[in-house]
Structure 1
Amino acid sequence: MVLLTTLATALVFPKFSDEPRKEPSPKAARDATEPAAADWIRSHLTELSTDVPTETEFEPLLRSLASSQLIGLGESTHGDHQSQEFKSQAIRRLILDQKLDTVVFEINRSAGQALDEYVNLGKGEFSEVIRKKGVFKIWHTDEFASLIGWMRGYVVQTGQPIRIYGIDCQMPAKDISTVIDFLKSVDQQAAERLESTYSSLLEFDKSGKTYLAWLEAQGGGDYSKNAEPVQTISKLLTSKKDEWSKLPGYDESVYAAETAYQAFNSFEYEFGNGKRNMLKMTPAYYSRRDKFMAQNLLRRVGQKRACLWAHDLHVLGELPERVAKIGFSTLGAELKKTLKSAYTTVGFTWTSGTIRVKTAANTSTNLAAVQQTAIPLTSVTANQNGDLGEFFARVGPANFYVDLRQADLATQKWGANAYYRASIGWIFDPKVFMVNPIQESIPTIPSHDIIVFNKRISPSSIWIYP
């Protein structure tokens, strides 16, 4: 299984470009269990006729999700059309048919605030809300944008709000600016101190440079200098709750102070561009961001019913024992601890196609520079024996989904075998894709409760401008 860092690229275990592909699990065990599993899946799957499922095709999915408090909708890549379109349509059906009214995205707090204000208040120009308010570029797509536009139309038509939250913590400049704006109305001196303390970060943001670029420009010992002041402000905001809580912007500034601190804490050992101390960059360290996102989601959503849009490996609720034992966790695993069976996950897999993804070697790569590049078309395959997409291609239909929670004993035995899942984040190194089972294979049962399969995937409809 890929052990993602807070950048969703680096790995706990090193990869080597000349490393031969290893079997994800004993081939004999897979061969012995695949026929029975294929028969069960064929008899329980729901075939999808197009990329936009019909109401009839969605009915079994909606029934299976009806009792879930939180639904994690993944995507095996950030750059394919099929998973984004499926999620976009599924969320609409959940809102229409089951009155779901809260949507959580794997985007930063400030981006979630902008989307929420657009959908519920009509604040902002539609394209700028998506392009310029912090939504990650991987979701500057027709698939994502059409969902946001549809939700705005739903609110206008029905008068029923749809709350939107961003739970990520990778834009501390935007968070600190939110806190400063609030403090100017209640404590001018505190606002000025905060603005002075983070002047370089705020200037980087104003110039269009990313948080990662700012991190690489810092000295190696600058973590405490940056984390402690925002913690102090967070305590100030909390201590003044009785006095300030009814003022406009208070709740959002409290949340912003939290996510700003989380951003520094998640990248504690990545300040500066010098050599990293890998002994400190443990699985628990790489899990900080996911744990913060889980904390943010649970605090924002409370007992409300909601769905979550994120990557497959973030929504993943069940981790292999060997991974959990070394201290690694995911957003979904943390949610599962709290919500148990009330949290249901939908993951994706595929066999071949073309996607949008940034490509770069995963060693000695300037990730801040990669962030500024375009997102090109890249051909990808998962069609070797031992790839889940290759097995599902032998099951039958080219596109389907199946609820594996109902699997019989023979299928559960098959599901215990690890397969390569072909999960790709925002950056991709084809030389080391699906070669090391320690990093990139995972049992199918338990992993995601429901799996959507597309034999062929095509690129997301990303917005391209001159």
Structure 2
Amino acid sequence: MRPLGEALGDARLVGVGQASHGGHEFQAFQHRALRYLVAEKGFRSLVLEAPWSTGVRLDDYLRTGRGDPLRIMSDELHSGYLFMHTREILGLIRWMRQYNIAHPGDPLRFAGNDSSYAGPQLYDRVEEHVRRAHPDLLPRVRELYRGLRPTLPALEYMIGYLGEPLDVRREKAERTAEVLELLRERTPKERTEQDHLWAVQHATAVDQVARQYAFDYDDPDEARRAMAYRDTMMADNTLWWLEQTGDRTVLAASNGHVYLEGYTPDYPVIQGGLLRRALGDDYRVVGAAFGRGSFLAADPSVADPSDTDVKRFSSGPIAPGSVEETLDRVGHPHWFVDLRTAPAAARAWLGVTRPKREIGTHWPRPPDQVNVLRSADVLVYVHQTRPIELLPRV
């Protein structure tokens, strides 16, 4: 790992990608990279492509030991997030908790940065802050949040929300936006400033989810704008975390969310590009690729997959002319290349846009067109993958 650490330099934020959400090796590498960066580079936070509410609950567990990570993950990680409801991620969380027990004065922190679900505890935390700090606002906040707090399991809630009429979803977004504005208008007292900042961020996360569902997904242009909004909010939440905690941080997500440029018109704006524009070289990207093997995914016909919709797939043969065709010729079992210092001939080859497998929630799908040199600072290559191990629900 030491040469990788040298390639990452003094970056404050390191995005570590996955070429397949459902491939074990990529979650295992994210864990290994975090452990190395904690021990050798002073990193202290992990931001995961997961709901903000998931991060709040798991961060509480890491800092205090309260709660059960199995229960938290079972409650929160559904639909596209179910690919993080895995034994691999649970092992990472448990390692972080053990680290905090051994280092009580220098804890590791955890955040989710995504905007497709807001658990009931976010509403509770906003209302509790309002009750303590701004009691005159409490009746109005409760009225605005009435009927919005999830009462169903997360997957049912998400499917049901998107199934509501568009005007209903947009009216909900107007209400969450009003709560956020009411909080932003208040000036906190010095002794409550931190509480206020966190309450505003929780209200922001609630509003982000409502706005995410307020797009018309039956309109292709609106759907693309929704995806641009999602990555913009992920970047905003990550930058807020960096500023608030001051931690050097690992961002773990799919390649498509950490890359510096997009590879599909369905995602016209991507988080990684926004982060590079905001942070410059303080944001470095570790992309991933693989040759062959198996992984978990859902059929493209299932928009919001449940655990039973997930199947084991095989990658099939490497496509002629693809990124993988050449990279698979390197003999090392697992290897990486520093794209910034690679020889000129390698950079020239990597700087051409070619087909590359980028497997998210669904498979099969056509290969994406990726310019590796413009997308990442480092590329990790795995010859063979096996599936992640999903956890049972509790």
1:116 aligns with 2:59: yes
Q: Does 1:219 align with 2:165?
A: yes
CA separation of 1:218 and 1:188: change in aligned 2, threshold 3 A: farther
Q: Which moved more, 1:414-423 or 1:244-253?
A: 244-253
Mapping of residues 410-449 of structure 1, within 5 Å: 410-428=345-363, 430=364, 432-434=365-367, 440-449=368-377
Matches within 5 A, 1:128-167: 128-134=71-77, 136-159=81-104, 160-167=106-113
Question: What is the 5 A alignment of 1:64-79?
Answer: 64-79=7-22
- Number of the residue aligned with 1:294: 235
Q: Which has the higher mean CA deviation after the structures are superposed, 97-106 or 189-198?
A: 189-198
Compute the displacement of 1:164 (Å). 1.6
Show the counterpart of 1:23: none
Instruction: State whether residues 24 and 387 of structure 2, in contact with CA within 8 Å, keep that contact through their aligned partners in structure 1.
Output: yes
Percent sequence identity over aligned pairs: 23
Residues 200, 173 of structure 1: alpha-carbon distance in 2 compared, 3 angstrom cutoff: farther
Answer yes or no: is the 8 Å Cα contact 2:299–2:309 preserved in 1.
Answer: no
Find the aligned partners of 1:100 and 1:349 in 2 and give their Cα distance. Answer: 25
Q: Which amino acid aligns with 2:54?
A: A
2:145 touches 2:176 (CA, 8 Å); kept in 1?
no
Change (3 A) 1:143 1:187: same
SS at match of 2:289: strand
C-alpha distance in 1 between matches for 2:83 and 2:191:
36
Matched residue SS, 2:335: strand
Q: What is the match of residue 315 of structure 2?
A: 380
Partners of 2:51 and 2:118 within 8 A in 1: no
1:328 Cα deviation after fit: 1.9
Deviation at 1:257, TM superposition (A): 1.1
C-alpha RMSD of matched pairs (Å): 2.7
- Structure of higher CA gyration radius: 1
Q: Which moved more, 1:285-294 or 1:376-385?
A: 376-385
Q: Note if 1:278 corresponds to 2:220.
A: yes
Q: Is the 8 A contact 1:404 1:445 kept in 2?
A: yes
Partner amino acid, structure 2, of 1:350: F
Which has the larger displacement, 71-80 or 155-164? 155-164
Deviation of the 1:186 alpha carbon: 4.8
1:307 matches 2:250 = yes
Distance 1:374 1:249, change over 3 A: farther
Q: Secondary structure at the match of 2:235?
A: helix
Amino acid at match of 2:356: R
CA separation in 1, counterparts of 2:312 and 2:330? 28
Q: In the TM superposition, what are the counterparts of 1:45-56 in structure 2 within 5 Å?
A: none
Give the Å deviation of 1:73.
0.5
The answer to whether structure 1 residue 236 and structure 2 residue 176 are counterparts is no
Gapped regions of structure 2 (runs ≥ 5) = none
Give the Cα–Cα distance (whole angstroms) in 2 for the partners of residues 195 and 76 of structure 1: 43
Question: Which residue identity lines up with residue 451 of structure 1 in the other structure?
Answer: L
Matches within 5 A, 1:311-330: 311-319=254-262, 328-330=268-270
- Is the Cα–Cα contact under 8 Å of residues 382 and 389 in structure 1 kept in the other structure? no
Query: How far apart are residue 199 of structure 1 and its match?
Result: 4.3
SS in 1 for 2:308: coil
The correspondence for 2:215, drawn from 269, 285, 289, is 269
Stretches of structure 1 lacking an aligned partner (at least 5 in a row): 1-57, 435-439
C-alpha contact (below 8 Å) 1:172/1:211 kept by paired residues:
no
Aligned length: 388
Q: Calculate the TM-score normalised by the size of structure 2.
A: 0.89
Asked if 1:406 corresponds to 2:347, the answer is no
Judged with a 3 Å threshold, the aligned counterparts in structure 2 of structure 1 residues 70 and 214 are, in CA distance, closer, same or farther, namely same
- The verdict on how the C-alpha distance between 1:110 and 1:134 changes in structure 2, with shifts beyond 3 A counting, is farther
Given the alignment of the two structures, is residue 176 of structure 1 paired with residue 117 of structure 2, yes or no?
no
Q: How does 1:392-403 map to 2 (within 5 A)?
A: 392-403=327-338
Measure the CA separation in 1 of the matches of 2:387 and 2:20.
10
Q: Does 1:331 align with 2:331?
A: no
Alpha-carbon distance in 1 for matches of 2:152, 2:325: 46
Question: SS at the partner of 2:374?
Answer: coil
Q: Tell me the CA shift for residue 396 of structure 1.
A: 2.2
The Cα of 1:266 is off from its aligned counterpart by 2.7
CA–CA distance in 1 between the matches of 2:195 and 2:320? Answer: 54
Shift in Å at residue 152 of structure 1? 0.9
Q: What is the TM-score when the length of structure 1 is the normalising length?
A: 0.76
Quote the residue 1:452 is aligned against: 380
Cα distance, 1:360 vs structure 2: 3.0
Question: 1:412, CA displacement in angstroms?
Answer: 2.0
Question: How far apart are residue 75 of structure 1 and its match?
Answer: 0.6
Which whole-Å CA distance do the structure 2 matches of 1:355 and 1:346 have between them? Answer: 20
Tell me by how many angstroms 1:124 deviates.
0.9
